[in-house]
Amino acid sequence: MKKTKIYQTEHSFTPTNIIDKNNDEIIIYSSPFCIHCSRLKNRLEEEGLLHKVKIIEDTDMIPSEIKRKGFPYTVKNKKEFLGYPNSFETYKKTFF
């Protein structure tokens, strides 16, 4: 059976196949085997922002309406970003 890893530090969260998402919530779809995902998590931790995101490490939980596939995939409201950002400052301004 496949394990689902969901990191949530600010609120309690119960894993389901449907992610309940608040409008201002930042969700990062990730993979434990992705070097870019690890880099992003480490950078968020260094910047003191890791507690503000929900990280989901289960490909089965990516909503079907998401057209772009790949990791890490950051979503907030209608803003989307695929991959590790070239400019972390721009990434911070966009999502935080």
Q: Three-state DSSP class for 25?
A: coil
Tell me how far apart the alpha carbons of residues 55 and 5 are, in angstroms, rounded to a whole number.
Answer: 8
Q: Is 88 exposed, middle or buried (0-12, 13-18, 19+ CB in 10 A)?
A: middle
pTM of the model: 0.73
Grade residue 42 by pLDDT with cuts at 50, 70 and 90. Answer: very high
22 or 56, greater pLDDT: 56
What number is the average pLDDT over the span 37-60?
A: 92
Return all residues near 47 (Cβ < 8 A) that are at least 6 apart: 88, 92
Peptide bond before 63: cis, by omega within 30 degrees of 0? no
